[in-house]
Amino acid sequence: MMGFMIETERCYIRPLNASDAAGIFELDSNPNVHKYLGNTPIKTLTEAENVIGLITQQYKDLGIGRWAIIEKSTGNFVGWTGFKYIIEPINNHVNYYDLGYRLIEGYWDKGIATETAKACLRYGFEVLKFNEVYGICDVENTSSKNVLQKCGLQLIETFDYDGVSHYWMKIKLEDWKNLK
């Protein structure tokens, strides 16, 4: 898993590494990025390095974790995308793959989240042999809901997550195959 790279029209997707710390800091220190994520932006580069450390530990422990998005034309860090294996209960579910993405604000509204999330789903179903993938987002975050729906995830229900209403969405392998 560690050396792979997914390629989309505009981006490369690869495992996060220490060289991504400045990009993670730019991403996660922005209060606008954290508007629907509990409003807890990071404040230091050390915190960004710790985020990368936690994700690389997930690679080792769980075989998967979020991946860096790199813009092909510039080599710039755009954000992250991909899967997290959820091992703590969320909405009465545990041990499942969650599709997520987070982009630096300057890359919002350009279709990159959808482009890269679709590529990750293809990789998840075709290479990693997933049977289903889930996604959640704050009900106020219409942009994130739109990305999940464009990727084929269906709204299952609304649930309370840490006191905030969230959408619970899912796509099964057979539904994904029918989209192709």
Mean pLDDT, residues 66-71 taken together: 97
Q: What is the torsional sign of CA 104, 102, 1, 131? A: negative
User: pLDDT-based confidence at 38, cuts 50/70/90?
Assistant: confident
In DSSP terms, which residues pair with 71 in a beta bridge? 11
Residue 132: pLDDT above 80?
Answer: yes
Residue 76: pLDDT above 70?
Answer: yes
Q: Residue 1: what pLDDT?
A: 42
What are the structural domains, with CATH classification, of the chain? 6-179 (3.40.630.30)
pTM, to two decimals:
0.95
- Region label for 31, one of left (φ > 0), alpha (ψ between -120 and 50) or beta (otherwise): alpha
Structure tokens at 139: 């009900």
Mean pLDDT, residues 124-138 taken together: 97
Which residue has 């739109």 as its token pair? Answer: 146
Q: Please, are residues 99 and 148 in contact by the beta-carbon 8 Å criterion?
A: yes
Which of 35-39, 81-85, 115-119 comes out lowest in average pLDDT? 35-39
- Region label for 117, one of left (φ > 0), alpha (ψ between -120 and 50) or beta (otherwise): alpha
Say which residues have a Cβ less than 8 Å from residue 150's Cβ, sequence separation at least 6: 114, 118
Residue 98: pLDDT above 90?
Answer: yes
Q: Residue 3: what pLDDT?
A: 60
Q: Residue 58: what pLDDT?
A: 94
